[in-house]
Amino acid sequence: MTNGLKSSNTKWILFLASIGQPEDRHVNDLAFGLYCLEDAGISADDISIYIDGPDRSLLSSLIAVGSQHGYVIKETPDFFADLNNNSAKNIVLFVTGHGSIHGISAALPIKPYTLVNAIKGAPGLNQAVVYLGQCYAGIFNYVMVGSKGKGDPCVILAGATNLHSSLSSATTEQLLGRPLAWQANLFLLHAFKWITSPIDVDGDGLTTVMDSFKYAGAMSNDDNKYLKSIYTYRIPSLHENYESARKKFEETKDPSDELMMKAQDTNYSRALDILHTHQESWILNSIPAQLIEF
């Protein structure tokens, strides 16, 4: 392509489907992403946000942390409707939230071919890049995304993880001079950071989609290794804390002791989750990913 994504007709989409109100941490993923997109020089007119959830006021307030512009936050049905009225040549889509073997978690789960076919059906679209941060993103792998010729867009899918849980961890980032602390999706966190400061990872003289994928995958797995090393040492004491709280509650049956037991159980379970999370990033349609510049 002759022009990079930032300098051509590109729609940048932040997407969070949900069953009911989404977790704040997932909305914060997108608030940080919004901040990074604007910081990279992308116009607010070229950014769209789709988040499900009944409390629209809360969603707006959470997203506002990442921008001084006012955005209309739409929902999943609007996303698919807007694809039918597409006017962009390129789409870059960032997906956070929950996922399972059934697809992206939503009132009606979004399966791989549902998403890919909707993107491919967008009129006038040349290519799309999709970053999938949800758990079990690998079910979107090994599907038909390549272009079959004129009028059939090329779609690139990049997943945080394969057929495993996705990795999240505590971070604090500065947004518009204010700190934001949350349990961030690490793959998306680093993908967004790369967009603000692109690095030519493979040394071909270009900053491409492939570079963003390699950077996000490598950095999130470095984080994974660091977290495992920390929690390997913490597991015995976390288990001891839980057992002590459990025994105390069994003796007293005091509601406050029950709350403490549940809190210690949560701490212990989260640590075990981190130790057992095997995150392996993947990319589908890798040759075009090496050619599409940011």
Kindly give the residue spans of alpha helices, DSSP state H, lying in 64-208. 76-84, 112-120, 186-196
Predicted pLDDT at 2: 44
How far is the C-alpha of 71 from the C-alpha of 14, rounded, in Å? 12
For residues 120 and 205, membership in a common domain is answered with yes
Q: Is residue 2 part of a domain?
A: no
Q: Which domain holds residue 243?
A: 226-276
- Percentage of residues in the chain having pLDDT higher than 70: 99
Residue 4 placed within a domain: no
Is 211:234 a contact under the CB 8 Å cutoff? Answer: no
* Residue 275: pLDDT band with limits 50, 70, 90: confident
**pLDDT, tens digit (0-9, with 9 covering 90-100), for 201-214:** 999 999 999 999 99
Statement to judge: residues 266 and 283 lie in one domain? no
Query: How far is it, in rounded angstroms, from Cα 110 to Cα 137?
Result: 12
Q: What whole-number distance in Å separates Cα of residue 84 and Cα of residue 79?
A: 9
Q: Are residues 167 and 260 in the same domain?
A: no
- The predicted pLDDT at position 228 comes to 73
Higher pLDDT, 132 or 268: 132
pLDDT of residue 219: 94
Same domain, 82 and 106: yes
pTM: predicted TM-score of the whole model, two decimal places: 0.90
Q: For residue 92, is it within any domain?
A: yes
Tally of structural domains, the chain? 2
Same domain as 201, residue 243: no
Across the range 91-98, mean pLDDT stands at 98
**CATH number for the domain that contains residue 49:** 3.40.50
Average pLDDT of the chain is 93
Give the pLDDT band (50/70/90) at residue 199: very high
Answer yes or no: do 104 and 43 share one domain: yes
Do 119 and 265 belong to one domain? no
Q: What are the counts of helices (DSSP H) followed by strands (DSSP E) for the chain?
A: 8, 11
Look at residue 99 and tell me if it is in a domain.
yes
Cα separation of 16 and 259, whole Å? 31
